[in-house]
Amino acid sequence: MQRSIEYITKLTSIPSPTGFTKDVMDYIMSELKSMGLEPYKTPKGNVMVTLKGEKEGGERLVTAHCDTLGAMVKKILPSGRIMFDLIGGFTYNSIENDNVIIHTRSGKKITGTILLNHSSVHVYRDAGTLERNQNNMEVRVDEVTKSEEDTRKLGIEVGDFISFDPKTIVTESGFIKSRHLDDKASAGIILSILKKYTEEKIAPKVTTHFAFSCYEEIGHGMNSNIPENVVEYMAVDMGAIGENLTTDEYVVSICVKDSSGPYNYELRHHLIDLCEENKIPYAVDIYPYYGSDASGALTAGYDIKHGLFGAGIESSHAYERTHEKAVEATFNLLDKYLRSDLVD
């Protein structure tokens, strides 16, 4: 558990909005090499590594994504502040007053804060009611800048990436609060599993390819470069929590359907059986506004069984929270899945 949480904390600390993931992928490459493994990067930037199984035949692919929501400089305003464009599915109200980093092309990092352009209640009567949208929100830059020219002199230009302060906190009561638990919680769990298997010389039942993808938040993270013998594809991603769902922050959530349609029926029952046989706390749910790397692979034309599970994550795409119990349950289900045989 402690190792998983340490990985999660480290991963959330590395800025990686979709399209700006080199640093986090380099960290994963380095960590996998330190385990004695031989990872490699695909041309897209995904990181893959393989563990040979006990038996020959069909293979598995297990994936988590390391790209996150973020933003990009859209326009430098006459005031010197920045209009931004979102990367991924943030709601504007969820990022108001967040601290950010602007990553310039030269490598310089400049901090700032996302604010409503009518933020002062002492000046604007509509500070509480003005719609939070792209036209009404901006980044206040933490440098002396009073004009577009001043901001450009800092090296900031259109297209520069903007990352969000993850505000990662692990409480004494076992909660993990952070942005980007979607899906760095799962990536941390997979790294922890790989560390365990390499240290204890454990082999999965069948040869398994582990993929850390970097374009999931915009829909095409790990839908290519899938080895030809793969017959099962398991996305380890966040479990959604909310009205009319059964998942909470203390279980592993098994998704049976999302906006892409149902997940594989036999594989779903295999996951449930593993939970029940091993007393792993779980929930089964339908996520209404959701897609995964696994569903993206099917859309790309791969003929595979696809499944999805992950730790229950509260307030997804906002300031997210989960509990160590959900991390533990997800770790245990992944462990039991890797040690089990393929689904007929």
- Domain boundaries defined on the chain: 1-68+180-339, 70-164
Phi and psi torsions of 234, nearest 5°: -115, 115
46-57 pLDDT per residue, tens: 999 999 999 999
| Cβ–Cβ under 8 Å, residues 213 and 62 | no
Report the catalytic residues: 216
CB burial of residue 260 (10 Å; 0-12, 13-18, 19+) = middle
Q: What is the pLDDT of residues 65-84, one digit of tens each?
A: 999 999 999 999 999 999 99
User: What is the rounded average pLDDT for all residues in the chain?
Assistant: 97
| CATH number of this structure's domain 70-164, picked from the four choices 2.160.10.10, 1.10.1270.20, 2.40.30.40, 1.10.760.10 | 2.40.30.40
Note the helical H segments in the chain. Answer: 2-12, 22-34, 92-95, 148-153, 181-199, 265-277, 293-299, 324-339
Answer positive or negative: Cα dihedral of 114, 292, 25, 7: positive
Is residue 217 marked as binding?
Answer: yes
What pLDDT is attached to residue 195? 98
Q: pTM here? A: 0.97
Is 126 annotated to bind a ligand? Reply is: no
Is 317 within any annotated ligand binding site?
yes
pLDDT of residue 104: 98
Distance of CA 121 to the CA centre of its chain: 35
> What pLDDT does 246 receive?
98
Contact yes or no for 245/320 (Cβ under 8 A):
no
The yes or no reply on domain 1-68+180-339 and CATH 3.40.630.10 is yes
Residue 150 labelled as part of a binding site: no
Structure confidence at residue 184 as a pLDDT band (50, 70, 90): very high
Q: What percent of the chain has pLDDT over 70?
A: 100
Segment 155-184 shows an average pLDDT of 98
Residue in the structure block whose two tokens are 């996305």? 235
pLDDT digits (tens, 9 = 90+) for 214-235: 999 999 999 999 999 999 999 9
For the chain, the maximum distance between any two Cα atoms, rounded to a whole number of angstroms, is 70
Between strands 305-313 and 161-164, the pairing is unpaired
What's the rounded Cα separation, in Å, for the pair 181 and 315? 10
Banded pLDDT at 303 (limits 50, 70, 90): very high
**Cα(185)–Cα(163) distance, rounded to whole angstroms?**
18
Predicted local confidence at residue 266, as pLDDT: 97
Residue range 177-203: average pLDDT?
Answer: 98
* Three-class DSSP category at 163: strand
Token pair for residue 53? 């199984």
Structural tokens at position 46: 């995904």
Q: Give the span between the Cα atoms of 65 and 236, in whole angstroms.
A: 8
Task: Fill in the amino acid letter for 40.
Answer: Y
pLDDT 10s digits, 93-103 = 999 999 999 99
335 is in an annotated binding site: no
* pLDDT given for residue 87 in this prediction: 97
Render 297-319 in DSSP notation, one character per residue: HHHTT---EEEEEEEEEBSTTSS
Q: How confident is the model at residue 145 (pLDDT cuts 50, 70, 90)?
A: very high
Q: How confident is the model at residue 148 (pLDDT cuts 50, 70, 90)?
A: very high
The residue assigned the tokens 């509480």 is 128
